[in-house]
Amino acid sequence: MAKACSGSCIHGVPACGSCGHGSAPSAVHFSVTTWNLLARSYTHHYFGHHGGDWWESETQTCQRYELAAREILRLKSDVVCLQELEDTFFQGDWNWCAKEFNNEYYQVAWDWNSPGTAVLLRASSSVERFGKLTVSNCCVAAVASLTVGGFRLMVVNAHLHPRQWKSLPQLQQVGEHLKGETLVVFAGDSNCLLYTSDAADERSSV
């Protein structure tokens, strides 16, 4: 929940809640869902960890995608962050709920990978895209600039590498694109955060 100021805020952030400007602030609610879809191209590695050596069948992928899409539709979140996303998730041959899902959600930011990450907005939501955000040389996260209740909010959807020596540079790269931003939602799949006892301290310093 965030509170929007009724007038010009001296802090430069309409939702800072500390300026005391104007009348009593009104509450603004919005919701975020984050979901790792498990890309079909990764299922071979997944089954390998469990003693198998096969790929998921096309029918299994279709069933999983449909279940995920229907649950996201049921939740009706304003913002959806997807990881391990492949184009097939939006195609009817692979997702039997694709048409209904595509009518309700549209992409506003995505990275360059496949499978990759994306930030989606609900078509009927009051949350809007804030201009066009172009993130150069960032292939580890989808970063969206949104307007929620009159203030600007950055949504970062990242899929971090499970190994700390790779995930920390990823976080640093994302941080370069967020300099000067006050309101940020960081979502996604962080995998295993604590491989070492000092991992938390190192990540908090990024």
pLDDT value of position 67: 97
3-state SS, residue 15? coil
pLDDT value of position 193: 56
CB 62 within 8 A of CB 94: yes
Alpha carbon distance 143, 106 (integer Å)? 15
Does the pLDDT at position 200 exceed 70?
A: no
Dihedral sign computed on CA atoms, order 194, 195, 198, 204: negative
Secondary element (H or E) of residue 151 = strand 151-159
Alpha carbon distance 122, 100 (integer Å)? 12
Does the pLDDT at position 29 exceed 90?
A: no
pLDDT value of position 46: 65
Alpha carbon distance 110, 108 (integer Å)? 7
3-state SS, residue 155? strand
Ordered alpha helix ranges (H), 6-109? 43-48, 58-75, 98-104
Max avg pLDDT among 38-47, 67-76, 108-117? 67-76
Q: Cα 158–164–170 angle (5° rounding)?
A: 35
Q: What is the pLDDT of residues 104-154, one digit of tens each?
A: 999 988 887 788 899 999 998 888 887 655 454 455 688 888 888 888 888
Using 50, 70 and 90 to split pLDDT, how confident is the model at 49? low
Using 50, 70 and 90 to split pLDDT, how confident is the model at 92? very high
Q: Cα 148–132–205 angle (5° rounding)?
A: 70
Mean residue pLDDT across the chain: 76
DSSP letters for 168-206: HHHHHHHHHTTTT---EEEEEE-----SSTTHHHHHHT-
pLDDT value of position 150: 82
Alpha carbon distance 89, 201 (integer Å)? 37
Q: What is the pLDDT of residues 159-199, one digit of tens each?
A: 887 777 777 877 887 787 788 888 889 888 887 654 444 44
Q: CA distances (Å), 200 to each of 116, 170, 194, 195, 205, in order? A: 25, 15, 7, 9, 9
Compare 137 and 96 and report the one with higher pLDDT.
96
CB 46 within 8 A of CB 54: no
- Among 26-40, 49-63, 140-154, whose mean pLDDT is lowest? 49-63
Partners of 131 in beta bridges: none
Average of per-residue pLDDT across 91-116:
91
pLDDT value of position 26: 61
Q: Model-level pTM?
A: 0.76
Which residues, in sequence order, are CB contacts of 117 under 8 Å at separation 6+? 81, 82, 83, 85, 110, 111, 141, 142, 157, 158, 159, 188
